Structure formats: structure tokens, C-alpha cells
Chains A and B, each alone.
Chain A
Amino acid sequence: MALSKPVRTIWDIPREERFAPGHTMCQGCGAAIIMRHLTKVIGKDAIIVQATGCVEVTTTAFPRTSWLNPWLHLAFENAGAGASGVEAALKALKRKGVIDPNRKIKVVAIAGDGGTFDIGLQSLSGMLERGHNVMYVVYDNEAYMNTGIQRSGATPLGAWTTTTPVGKKLRGELRPKKDLIGIALAHRIPYIATASPAYPTDMVEKLRKAYETEGPSLVHIISPCTPGWRIRNEDSVKVARLAVLTGMWVLLEIVNGKPRVTVKVPKRKPVREYLRLQGRFRHLTDEEIARIQKMVDEYVEEINRWVGEQAIGPVEG
């Protein structure tokens, strides 16, 4: 049974574990926290379709699996297409009476940022545009961490990766992060949200709403990666929290095109605090940090204008 009532406090999260331990995700992996809560929310009546990525590789080394749900492995590029197919097959089986037509079975697609922002973008776009009843969850660790930290469309400005090395000519990633929420919004889907594992009740409630939504829904979750972001194991939740507190990551919820900031930050911290914790930003000079701060200021201003209120406040101090 999926979660039926709204999640208001941490005690509304069900105790039952539906994501087996013993997977080989790194110590302190943010994606593992997300997957634990996701499986708690979706319950047993869900089919998981997963694109290649960290979570896929680490949870399903043959002959073992961490999943308790029916689970389908797909390549990097076709999580959206595969999920559409499974959803269409469910519809056909219900019509033929093989499955009880009143039984609610949801298809959940899970992909990383590489499988969503870059390689899987066309199949995601097709899935959203055709209006399949699929919940799409993106865990965004901001590079191809599984293959060895190569840059992706989600890598933020200035970040070190193995394909954007830091030296005399290059100072890390040159381009800002791709706006996935904007892309999803352009498809006019009923439910879009961003979440952070440092705010578990907010994240679980958004996952629940996405699960309940009829039609395509997308949840974009930041997922700290200890080896890729060059952070200490115990800091991954702290970094995810600082991303929200500095305004780098705004917790949005867009229901039928109406945006709302779910976790308001009256006084945000300077981005330096978020960047300082991570080794991938170690090379940044004061001017470069000031440039990122300016970019975040503009982004926050844009969000505030969009939601029509001062949801994210000015920098403190």
C-alpha cells in the first residue's frame, strides 16, 4: 500500500523498509537515502523502471537485487520510453481483464542526471508529452559519478570533474546547470517538484503527491555524492541542507503550472559556505565565487518574481 495520508511530520514516514540493505552504494551516499524513502512511499503496487546510473549498478549486481518491487533495467537513454511502454502494457492488460481494472498500479521511472539531462532527454520529453501516467524521479548528483565523475548537463558552473579539469586554461565547468524544471514545465505536466534529502518530510510528501498524480509527474532531487563532490562521508546531508539554505537549490512545487516554494528561507547564507565544504570547488578564487553568488542572486530573484512573494530572502550578514 502506498502512503495514503499527507506527510506532515517525520513520524508519518512508514517504518517498513522496502529497500534492502547490503547494496554497494558509497558510504554516505545521498541517493541511497532518496531510494529508501521513495520505496517507502510507493509501496508494493508499483513497477520500477530504472535507467543505468549509480543506483542501478550498485543495487542489482547479479544475482542479487535490493528492490522488493518489480524492477526493470533499461539503458541510459530510454527510461522514459520504457516506462511509457510498461504503462501502456498495464492499460492493455487491464482492458483485457488480466489485471483487475480498479487496481492502482503506478509506473515509477528512476534515473540519474546523466540519464535525464543528457542521454535520456528525448525519451523523457516523449513520455511527458504523451501524458503517460508515470512518476519520474531524478536523483541529481551533478555528474556521471558511476563511470568516474565526467561532466553532465547538470554539472554546476565552476565544478571540477575529470572532463573539466582545473589548470591554466580551464577553471572547471564552463556552463551553468541545465534548467530541467523549465524543460518539464514546457511540457505542461500536472506535477513538478524539486526536493532535497536533508528535508525528509518535504521530500516524502512531494514523492507522495507525485505518486498520487494522474498523468506524468517529475521529482528532481539533489543527491550529494561523497567521492564526486569531494566531501566527507558524514557531510552529505549537511551539504544537501546548505544547498537549500544558500539558495543554490530552491525547494519548489509546481502543481498545474502554479509554483510554490515549500521550504522558505528568510535569510539565505552566502554560497561560499556551500562551496567551501566541497573539494570540487576548492580551486575557486574570490572573483569566481562572487560570480557564482551573483548568478544565485539572479536565480533567487527570478524565483521570487515567479512565485510572487519573497520566498527566498536576501543574503545574511
Chain B
Amino acid sequence: MSIKDEGFKRYLGKKYPETWRDMPIAAIVPWPGNTAEVKTHAWRTIKPVIDQDKCIRCRLCWTFCPDGAILEVDEEYKTSSGRVFKISYKVDYDHCKGCGICAAECPVNAIEMVPEER
């Protein structure tokens, strides 16, 4: 199937196939990484909250997160004891599934799992 193919054009024109006629041969998915649109936040019952003052920026939570839901951002942060960090860790609450690995692996207990309230 080529890009000039009528079916493929119809497929690409829409955001997602609407009827079976829009289905391409071999079910090609031309939108890489589009599961990011799916919000998996409803899975969790507890959510991680990072204490930026306690956090020592060891990167372990970022490393062990199965969902890539710990974000490493270039944001300067000055702790209450005066220590300045160039980076910060934030939680992507749209995709965090609330497994608690980050809180279990944190060496300084800077992450707390608190009950989710909606």
C-alpha cells in the first residue's frame, strides 16, 4: 500500500478510523506514541506527592517509574536549608497509575502516597 492509495489517504485524513471502510491493510498505525493521549490516572487509588525540600535529586524515582510519569524538568529549586538544585522532579498525574514504586524506592522518603480524592 502506498501513500497515494485512496484508502490510506482517507485513513490519514481522519484522526482515527470511523468505520471498517477506513481500516487500512495490515492495520498500520501512522501515529507513533499516541497512547500518550490515553489518560491512565483513573487507575490509581493513591497518588505520589513529592516533598521538594526532602528530595535529593537522585533520579531513582524517574528511573524506576514504569509509566514515565515522573518528569525530570529543568526547574531551579532552592530548599529551605539553602541548597540549590538545577532540576526538579514532577509527577505526571495524567499518566501515573499509582503503583507506589517511586515511594518504595525513594532513599530519603521524600515521596508520600496519599489517598486520591476526586
Kindly provide the distance from the CB of A298 to the nearest chain B CB, expressed in whole angstroms. Answer: 32
Q: Are A68 and B33 in contact (CB under 8 A)?
A: yes
Q: Report B26-37 CB contacts with A as 1/0, cut-off 8 Å.
A: 010101111111
Whether A304 is near chain B, meaning CB under 8 Å from some CB there, is no
**A contact residues, total (Cβ < 8 Å):** 39
Q: Are A21 and B40 in contact (CB under 8 A)?
A: yes
Q: Which residues of A contact B101 (CB under 8 A)?
A: 28, 233-234, 236-237
Tell me which of B29, B63, B64, B69 contacts A62 (CB under 8 A). Answer: B29
Within 8 A of A (CB), among B54-84: 58-60, 63-69, 72
**B contact residues, total (Cβ < 8 Å):** 37
Q: Are A233 and B100 in contact (CB under 8 A)?
A: yes
Q: Are B16 and A32 in contact (CB under 8 A)?
A: no
Whether B103 is near chain A, meaning CB under 8 Å from some CB there, is yes
Q: Which residues of A contact B27 (CB under 8 A)?
A: 62
Q: Are A64 and B72 in contact (CB under 8 A)?
A: no
* Known contacts A27-B97, A28-B100; A21/B60 CB under 8 A: no
* Known contacts A10-B59, A11-B59; A21/B69 CB under 8 A: yes
Q: Are B63 and A10 in contact (CB under 8 A)?
A: yes
Q: Are B105 and A237 in contact (CB under 8 A)?
A: yes
A-B pair count, CB < 8 Å, reads 109
Whether A13 is near chain B, meaning CB under 8 Å from some CB there, is yes
Residues of A contacting B: mostly? loop
Q: Tell me the complex Cα distance, A235–B31, Å.
A: 34
Whether B43 is near chain A, meaning CB under 8 Å from some CB there, is yes
Q: Which residues of A contact B16 (CB under 8 A)?
A: 63
Q: Which residues of B contact A59 (CB under 8 A)?
A: 35
* Known contacts A27-B99, A238-B104; A63/B29 CB under 8 A: yes
Whether A36 is near chain B, meaning CB under 8 Å from some CB there, is yes
Q: Are A22 and B40 in contact (CB under 8 A)?
A: yes
Tell me which of A21, A60, A226, A237 contacts B95 (CB under 8 A). Answer: A21
Q: Report A56-72 CB contacts with B as 1/0, cut-off 8 Å.
A: 00011011111111000
Kindly provide the distance from the CB of A240 to the nearest chain B CB, expressed in whole angstroms. Answer: 10
Tell me which of A15, A66, A234 contacts B35 (CB under 8 A). Answer: A66
Q: Which residues of A contact B67 (CB under 8 A)?
A: 21, 23, 25, 32
Q: Report B100-116 CB contacts with A as 1/0, cut-off 8 Å.
A: 11011100000000000
Q: Which residues of B contact A65 (CB under 8 A)?
A: 29, 31-35
The chain B residue with its CB closest to the CB of A21 is: B95
Q: Which residues of B contact A13 (CB under 8 A)?
A: 63
Whether B44 is near chain A, meaning CB under 8 Å from some CB there, is yes
Kindly provide the distance from the CB of B16 to the nearest chain A CB, expressed in whole angstroms. Answer: 5
Q: Are B35 and A32 in contact (CB under 8 A)?
A: no
- Chosen A-B contacts, 7 in total, with CB atoms closer than 8 Å, are A10-B60, A20-B34, A20-B36, A27-B66, A60-B29, A66-B33, A238-B104
List 4 other contacts, CB 8 Å, given A19-B68, A63-B31.
Answer: A20-B68, A27-B97, A33-B66, A238-B104
The 10 closest A-B pairs by CB, nearest first: A32-B66, A234-B100, A28-B99, A20-B33, A22-B38, A22-B35, A21-B95, A27-B99, A234-B104, A233-B99
